[in-house]
Amino acid sequence: MVAIDVAVSGIVLMMLLSFPFVAGAEVWRLTPSLLACALVSCLAWPVAAEQFGLYRSQRRSPFDDLIWRLVLAGMCSTGALAGAVYVLGTPLSTRFAAMFGAAQFSLLTFERVVVLSGLRIARRFGRNTRNVLILGSGARAANAKRRIELQRHWGLRVVGFLDDADVPVSPEIDPAQVRKLVDVRGILRDEVIDEVIVAVPRSLFEQITPVVAACGEAGVPFTVLSDFFGDHLPPPQVARFGPLTALRFARVHHPQASLAIKRAIDLVCGSLLLAGALPVIAVAAVAIRATSPGSVFFLQTRSGLFGRRFRMIKLRTMVDDAEARRESLAHLNAMTGPVFKIHDDPRITPVGRWLRRFSIDELPQLWNVVRGEMSLVGPRPALPAEVGDYSTFERRRLSMRPGLTCLWQVGGRNLVSDFEDWVRLDLEYIDTWTLGLDVRILLRTIPAVLLGTGS
């Protein structure tokens, strides 16, 4: 597969270099910098593909996951070529790297989709199969067998089960297929076993050590199903704990590359927006100072990612002693749960009401975005006192960096009076987050701000 990727990259390179309007007028001059860029263009993709696991078996990978990893590899490969062209001063046009990356990604993605589709069809007809030995014969083993039978395109064939003779066998498993644990070395020696799947209860984990050791000695891969703690835990990720390999359980695994892109967007766009908003903030500050006594800005401690506290900055929209008057207005709270919100709050000044309607009071929070304490999109930051009253379930809304806007705000936050609905929208965002979702929320935020429907 590596050789094919390099060959395809070389073909794409030669084709684009043959068009002067794409490559540039001076490509006919064979220079060291041009040769170096040619080398980068052919090798950057295999290196990126290896990093994103594209050369590992895709037998049990869903297509959407494969496409996403191809996109990331293509972005890295194109970025490497663009950087090489710039640093080496190669006589190539500015559009060359982008067009090469697009053509390379299209051809290599098409090639992989065709190959994997063909393999999946062949596996459904019994070709390209792998023999699987399941460790266990109870409910978890039966569930593993059932899943393999349903996913015929995986091309897996269950050749037997390993368990103690006195353990009850699931009705879905043929007792004749169950063999003893002590026979594992002979089975691995005499039969073709491509993988051992560990599907025993936690109570039997101590007894499977000899099986795992035998697999290690024979070089047979073994897979441990992660539901041995129960169905309530999310899927794990392989992580490091010093020199040890560990399993990390998290409710949602967001790709680190995507989170890095999200942070880069926050930093660049947040800086540009903050620079553009400075005149608006200055005019609002003059209006606040002229119409009510007190500070122009309102600083408040909020809970950020995983409850980390930070100082959030806003333009002051309430009277100077608003916090001291909060307790006397508790009976007017329009929200259920550990959140305080009043419709037509009497503490809001006339200028503050206008600032809130168009979310101008929140523009200084762009500084929190630039500092990395907030994001452009994410659950709204909560007060530490509110977080202290959260249930365990509600606290999961802190598992993503808080943002300037969110699903709750673009949907009309005045229409949401139940804290459970607020949490539900935040968790929906966290569980389904993609960069595309952020873009859609930002686009919906613009009319919500201009029309004042998000206030």
Predicted local confidence at residue 432, as pLDDT: 84
Residue 238 counted as domain residue: no
Please say which residue of 62, 94, 124 terminates a domain. Answer: 124
Select the more confidently predicted residue: 392 or 384: 384
Does residue 235 belong to any structural domain of this protein? no
Q: pLDDT (tens digit, 9 = 90+) per residue, 300-349?
A: 999 998 889 999 999 998 888 777 777 677 666 656 666 667 777 778 88
382 located within any domain: yes
The size of the chain, in residues, is 455
Asked if residue 65 and residue 35 are part of one domain, the reply reads yes
Same domain, 287 and 270: yes
Candidates 266, 426, 286; CA nearest to 360 is: 286
Which of 209, 229, 249 terminates a domain? The answer is 229
Query: Which is more confident, 61 or 106?
Result: 106
Residue 67 has pLDDT above 80, yes or no: yes
Tell whether 333 is covered by a domain.
Answer: yes
Q: Is residue 244 part of a domain?
A: no
Total Cβ atoms within 10 A of residue 101: 23
Q: Are residues 67 and 159 in the same domain?
A: no
Q: Is residue 395 one of the residues assigned to a domain?
A: yes
For the chain, give the mean pLDDT. Answer: 82
Average pLDDT over residues 199-217: 80
Given this model, what pLDDT does residue 279 score?
94
Q: What is the pLDDT of residue 230?
A: 61
Statement to judge: residues 434 and 343 lie in one domain: yes
The pLDDT value recorded for residue 231 is 55
Whether 242 is in a domain gets the answer no
Choose among 156, 164, 248: nearest CA to 200.
164
Burial of 302 (0-12, 13-18, 19+ CB in 10 A): buried
Domain end among 90, 109, 124:
124
Shared domain for 335 and 208, answered yes or no, is no
The model's pTM: 0.57
Q: For the chain, what percent of residues have pLDDT higher than 90?
A: 18
Quote the domain boundaries for residue 84: 2-124
pLDDT for res 211: 85
Distance CA 359, CA 295 (A): 19
For residue 148, being part of any structural domain is answered with yes
State residue 415's pLDDT score: 53
Same structural domain, 263 and 316: yes
Q: What one-character-per-residue DSSP string does 377-396 give?
A: ESSPPBPHHHHHT--TTGGG
- Does residue 108 share a domain with residue 21? yes
Query: What is the number of structural domains in the chain?
Result: 3
Task: Looking at the structure, tell me whether residues 190 and 205 fall in a common domain.
Answer: yes
pLDDT-wise least confident of 232-246, 300-314, 316-330, 369-383: 232-246
At residue 51, the pLDDT reads 82
CA 79 – CA 374 distance, rounded (Å)? 27
What per-residue confidence (pLDDT) applies to 454?
Answer: 53
pLDDT tens figures, 75-122: 888 888 888 877 877 777 667 778 888 888 888 888 888 888 898 898
Judgement on whether residues 184 and 301 belong to the same structural domain of the protein: no
Q: Quote the pLDDT of residue 25.
A: 47
> Residue 70 pLDDT > 90, yes or no?
no
Assess whether 16 and 86 both reside in one domain.
Answer: yes
Give the CA distances from residue 445 to residues 109, 165, 226, 370, 431, in Å, rounded to whole numbers and listed in that order. Answer: 34, 63, 40, 19, 20
User: Same domain for 322 and 431?
Assistant: yes
Same-domain status, 116 and 147: no
